[in-house]
Amino acid sequence: MSFAGPIILGHQLAFRQKQTTVNMDKEADETALVGPVDGKFCYKKRMDGSVDKSMVVCKLCNKEFAYHRSTSSLKYHLNAKHIAASVDVSPTATTRTHTQPTLHQMTGLRTRITKSTSEKITNGLAHWIALDCRPLGVVKDKGLQNVLQIASSDITYELPCRKTVTKRVQQLYDNEKEDKENLLGKAEGVALTGDHWTSRTITVCLADSGFTATLAKCRKIVGHFKHSPSNTEELHKEQTQLEQDKESLIQDVSTRWNSTLFMISRLLKNKEAVNVTLAKQKHKLTMLPTAEWDRLQRLETLLKPCRYVTELLGGETYVSCSVVLPALRHLTHTMEVSDDDPAYVVRFKGDFKKDLSQCQDTLNHGWLRVATALDPRFKDLKCLPRAEGEGVWTSIEALLRIEPNRANLEPTEEPARKRSLLLFNSDSESEDEEGPNRALARYRAEPTISETDCPLQRWSTHEGAHPQLSALARKFLGSPATSVPCERLFSLAETCEDCEKASIIVCNVLAQAGFKASKEKLQWVQPKIMYLGAANNNLSSTALAFFQQSIEEYGFPLRSCTFNSLTEKIVACLVTPNME
């Protein structure tokens, strides 16, 4: 009898049972490793075979993440790195939805922007053009359109046309104009001012003074360094050896006396470096002797107070109207002749005081005196003779009688009969019965404030104690001392030194010896200019053709400048933005 068959059958059954057990253990291990986000992540398995549920691994890229029962960072990873897999992630782990991703989901691009968003972009472009003085032709730039397409995730977005942007800029102007008109309508007063202090006095005095010859020598010395980079480099070496800052000399402008002061100050500061550098060079300059260096020092002392007063009266972020009389008094005191002054200084001071006196005759002294008295910093009126002080307070008292009492204009809910009963047989005077004399007396009795304090803030905090005086002070102190702030605004609008707010275009490139300029050879100026063309001839008709072309496209040039080199000459024009 043979037992081979039953033995083989038993081994097969045992093997199948063992294989089933292994498969069950393997499925159990895989089930234990299934992680969050619909199984897109699995738990990390340690070296000893245990499961670390504080770490998960992305099944798509095997990147490890810390897991603290929050799937926000895991979903963000899927959306950023695996867009196709992220669409399968369902809100719960129990239900799975397998949907085909859309084209926008696969490419990461959204649908076309809405009409409201397009309108916002158009309004933003118009505001940018108006705010930064950009030319309207910028809407034709392909690079700008590419930037906006990337920012909006809409590759079909197109920039608005020039006509549309022009209308939006005009709407911005009309809205801004209306707002300013409304503000002016609510204003308590409007000030029209002119120049109370002008540089004419100093310019006249410098033109006919004992400093003329010395200043001419200084201009030649400065020009020696300004016109030669090698001379400037030698000066910088001497400044380094003397442990001074590397700074170039300043050339003055004959019509700008403050530039003369800057030239003198820079020369005096670098006196030793200039003398040492010139001593090592061959030149035909006339050196300044010690007496003329001393003369420059005296001129700097005379001009510094003038510069301080000019900058003080030309400010626009603080009260300046009440500073005119104290500032002019300070200048008059500075120009008093002393026993140590040489003859040329005495003559300069005399001419200065004479011309300054003529300028003061045209001032509105009545307005300036009231403004000075209403400024808590200068209400002691030390800048005026004592005999004129009481007259100023008399003028303010008359103005207070004309100015309506704002305390009486405020509505009250208290019945008039009850108020009369409360005030019946009262021994003290009411606030309404206080006359201008008492109001001025209380204001004059208060201490003066520091020169660094703002008088308008002072009146704002004391408006309850002085309702009429505060209104009068705002009217007088709100006037600017000079027209410099307005002129500064016009200068910014007419002459824009920033190349980002203007267009510099090349009108003509004239070559020498048959040399033809190429666009690649103008890379050094391309960030600042727009290249139009080149010519290999020296004909005036060619230059005129390029110039007319630039005018037709960009408008008439505001200024022109010339770049010279050994091989080519570039004539560039600074053109104002064409806002038509």
For the segment 24-31, the average pLDDT, to the nearest whole number, is 54
Which residues, including other chains, have CB under 8 Å from residue 314's CB and lie 6 or more apart?
320, 481, 482, 484, 485, 488
Kindly indicate the confidence band of residue 207, based on its pLDDT and cuts at 50, 70 and 90: confident
Q: Is 317 helix (H, G, I), strand (E, B) or coil?
A: coil
pLDDT at 410 over 60: no
Residue 449: half-sphere exposure toward Cβ, Cα within 13 Å: 15
The answer to whether residues 55 and 67 touch, using CB atoms and an 8 Å cutoff, is yes
pLDDT at 368 over 70: yes
Q: How far apart are CA 86 and CA 92, in angstroms?
A: 14
What proportion of the chain, given as a percentage, has pLDDT over 90? 24
For the segment 66-87, the average pLDDT, to the nearest whole number, is 78
Residue 365 has what pLDDT?
87
Q: How far apart are CA 155 and CA 153, in angstroms?
A: 6
Q: How far apart are CA 304 and CA 306, in angstroms?
A: 5
What is the helix (H) or strand (E) element at residue 153, kind and residue range? none
Burial of 306 from C-beta contacts in 10 A (0-12 / 13-18 / 19+): buried
Kindly indicate the confidence band of residue 222, based on its pLDDT and cuts at 50, 70 and 90: very high
pLDDT at 234 over 90: yes
* Span of 133-137, 274-278, 487-491, 519-523 with lowest mean pLDDT: 519-523
The residue with tokens 């897999």 is 85
The single-letter DSSP state of residue 524 is T
> Higher model confidence: residue 31 or residue 559?
31
pLDDT at 537 over 90: no
* Helix orientation angle between 212-226 and 271-279, rounded to the nearest 10 degrees: 70
**For residue 255, which phi and psi values (nearest 5 degrees)?**
-90, 0
Q: How do residues 417-448 score in pLDDT, each as one tens digit?
A: 444 444 444 444 444 445 678 888 899 999 99
Q: Pick the closest to residue 132 from 464, 446, 492, 408 (CA basis).
A: 492
pLDDT at 540 over 60: no
Kindly indicate the confidence band of residue 294, based on its pLDDT and cuts at 50, 70 and 90: very high
pLDDT at 349 over 60: yes
Which residues, including other chains, have CB under 8 Å from residue 121's CB and lie 6 or more apart?
113, 148, 152, 157
Burial of 497 from C-beta contacts in 10 A (0-12 / 13-18 / 19+): exposed
The answer to whether residues 272 and 171 touch, using CB atoms and an 8 Å cutoff, is no
> Higher model confidence: residue 561 or residue 49?
49
Q: How far apart are CA 309 and CA 323, in angstroms?
A: 9
Residue 520 has what pLDDT?
42
Residue 543 has what pLDDT?
59
pLDDT at 217 over 50: yes
For the segment 253-264, the average pLDDT, to the nearest whole number, is 86
Residue 577 has what pLDDT?
36
* Helix orientation angle between 290-313 and 343-360, rounded to the nearest 10 degrees: 20
Q: Is 330 helix (H, G, I), strand (E, B) or coil?
A: helix
Q: What is the largest CA-CA distance in the chain?
A: 153
Q: How do residues 371-403 score in pLDDT, each as one tens digit?
A: 999 999 999 999 998 888 889 999 999 888 886
pLDDT at 89 over 70: no
* Span of 36-40, 183-187, 194-198, 301-305 with lowest mean pLDDT: 194-198
Find the length of the chain.
580
The residue with tokens 């091989």 is 567
The single-letter DSSP state of residue 370 is H
Pairing of strands 503-511, 529-530: parallel
Q: How far apart are CA 363 and CA 372, in angstroms?
A: 14
Kindly indicate the confidence band of residue 1, based on its pLDDT and cuts at 50, 70 and 90: very low
Which residues, including other chains, have CB under 8 Å from residue 332's CB and lie 6 or more apart?
353, 356
Residue 25 has what pLDDT?
53
Q: Please report which residue ranges of 478-517 form alpha helices under DSSP H.
A: 484-494
Distances (CA, A) of 375 to 277, 370, 407, 452, 460: 52, 9, 22, 12, 13
Q: How far apart are CA 545 and CA 555, in angstroms?
A: 14
Q: How far apart are CA 320 and CA 372, in angstroms?
A: 10
The answer to whether residues 483 and 432 touch, using CB atoms and an 8 Å cutoff, is no
> Higher model confidence: residue 443 or residue 89?
443
Q: How far apart are CA 259 and CA 254, in angstroms?
A: 8
For the segment 333-341, the average pLDDT, to the nearest whole number, is 91
Please indicate, yes or no, whether the overall pTM of this predicted structure exceeds 0.75.
no
Residue 546 has what pLDDT?
60
What is the full DSSP assignment across 193-253? ---SS-THHHHHHHHTSTTHHHHHHHHHHHHHHHT-HHHHHHHHHHHHHTT---------B
The residue with tokens 């002085």 is 466
Kindly indicate the confidence band of residue 19, based on its pLDDT and cuts at 50, 70 and 90: low
The answer to whether residues 43 and 51 touch, using CB atoms and an 8 Å cutoff, is yes
The dihedral of CA 149, 155, 157, 159: what is its sign? positive
Q: In the beta sheet, which residues pair with residue 511?
A: 568
Compute CA 353 distance to the chain's CA centroid, rounded to the nearest angstrom: 39
Kindly indicate the confidence band of residue 160, based on its pLDDT and cuts at 50, 70 and 90: very high
The residue with tokens 């022009």 is 166
